[in-house]
Structure 1
């Protein structure tokens, strides 16, 4: 049911550098009217695939560490401990190391990005 997400940022350069380093990806930056955005990779051929963007618009978006929706990023490397290990070197903070939710669901971890957003990583160990 989820189709899109947007992560508020204060400093776009810093936020792009953080997410690119942690997930070993490239984001595509674009000005969209008054909003500055950087798009996460998207595989439109994959059924159920969703994507999103970093977004800077101080009037409508504000980073938050404890309010609102939390996004869970799927581990691209199959072991979210690898991505979590890069969070602090990229300027963020690990809030919860890799933790087993249960054998049927998988593992998760929490982090604070460089902009002050609380985010999560997830990996389904049954796949």
Structure 2
């Protein structure tokens, strides 16, 4: 099997859906899309997508089913093109903490950074090399 994208969907656990929504809308300059599933007592705020076929994800609150974590579990890398630093510069003012500052992975793979969000989740950022992110 060959994957077009290694990730098809991700869910970021939150303790306070409104606080988390404000945090992510602030750092990415986006408007998240509410989607609540009352039958499952699940509240979601989805990241906007250019195409329904793209990789998507959401902030999720469902009581004890989701638990934010600063030091365990999967590490999700969110797209920070064209430059990780543009996002990192907004983290602390929005209520988060920078854990790993902008760091070059390699000249051909670009840069990464890691932060704790408003809920205490460890989340990573990735941006392609400048010449690749402009394509």
Which of the five TM-score ranges fits, normalised by the shorter chain?
over 0.9
Aligned to 2:76: 71
- The residue that corresponds to 1:27 in the other structure is 32
Higher helix share: 2
Gaps of 5+ in 1: none
Partner of 1:119: 123
| Cα pair distance change 1:45/1:30, threshold 3 Å | closer
Hey, what's the Cα distance between the residues in 2 that align with 1:101 and 1:2? 20
Aligned pairs for 1:8-87 (under 5 A) are: 8-33=13-38, 34-44=41-51, 49-76=54-81, 78-87=82-91
The answer to whether residue 97 in structure 2 is matched with residue 90 in structure 1 is no
- TM-score w.r.t. the length of structure 2 is 0.87
Aligned length, in residue pairs: 124
SS in 2 for 1:96: strand
Q: What is the RMSD of the two structures over their aligned residues, measured on CA atoms?
A: 1.3
State the secondary structure of the residue aligned to 1:85. helix
Q: TM-score, normalised by structure 1?
A: 0.92
- Partner SS state of residue 25, structure 1: coil
| Partner Cα distance (2:111, 2:24) in 1 | 20
- Partners of 1:123 and 1:106 lie apart in 2 by 6
Cα separation, 2, equivalents of 1:12 and 1:114: 10
Larger Rg: 2
State the 1:59 CA deviation: 2.5
Q: Deviations over 1:34-79 (max 9, x none)?
A: 1011010112267xx2010000012311000111101101114x11
Where does structure 1 differ by over 3 angstroms across 4 or more consecutive aligned residues?
A: none
